[in-house]
Amino acid sequence: MPVLDISDPTHPVQAGTVLTSSTNGVLVATGDLLLVGLGWGGTYPSSVGIDIIDVSTPSSPVDLATLVTPDTILGFAVDGTTVVLVDDGDRLITYDISSPAAPVETGSFGLPAQPVGVALLGNHAFVADGLGFRVIDISDPSSPSQVGFTATSKSPANVLGAVGSYVFYGFG
């Protein structure tokens, strides 16, 4: 995957290459880290893992670690040093990446339906699933808990993002 230097936006130049087995198109940047969803599953992006890559030197990125779960990762989000992912084992899992070369699973929460996407804002994860939309409190990452739910008229296809006091999601 190429790394482009866009310091002169009229003349982008390749500055390096991130080596990864494959990408499902989900890339999330936080600080000097790039998290890359790996793999592809069916008709929507899914992942067999998440590579954590140090891009502090863009000409030579370093793969630090890979998060892997027993089930397929269907979505993930990052806020600071917290990663939240949802998988087809109907779980939300939290990770601490304050030491990115050694990520630590900090907790999990069983979901009543298969999730299709997740967004993260502060101490709340927002999960879209086949039944509706859930708000999960992760202020204690070792013990996430559901604090809100709303049924939706259609099944959400994914969570697009959280901004301020709003969450955006799409329908399939």
Task: Tell me whether residue 106 is in a domain.
Answer: yes
CATH of the domain at 84: 2.130.10.10
Contacts by residues 53-62 (CB-CB < 8 Å, ≥ 24 positions apart): 53/18, 53/20, 54/100, 55/3, 55/18, 55/29, 56/32, 58/3, 58/5, 58/15, 58/16, 59/3, 59/15, 59/16, 60/16, 61/3, 61/16, 61/17, 61/18, 61/19, 61/34
pLDDT at 160: 66
pLDDT at 104: 94
User: What's the domain count of the chain?
Assistant: 1
* pLDDT tens digits, one per residue of 56-70: 998 888 989 988 877
pLDDT at 44: 45
Tell me which residues of the chain have a pLDDT lower than 70: 20-25, 39-47, 155-160, 171-172
pLDDT at 159: 64
Domain limits for position 51: 15-171
Give the amino acid at 17: T
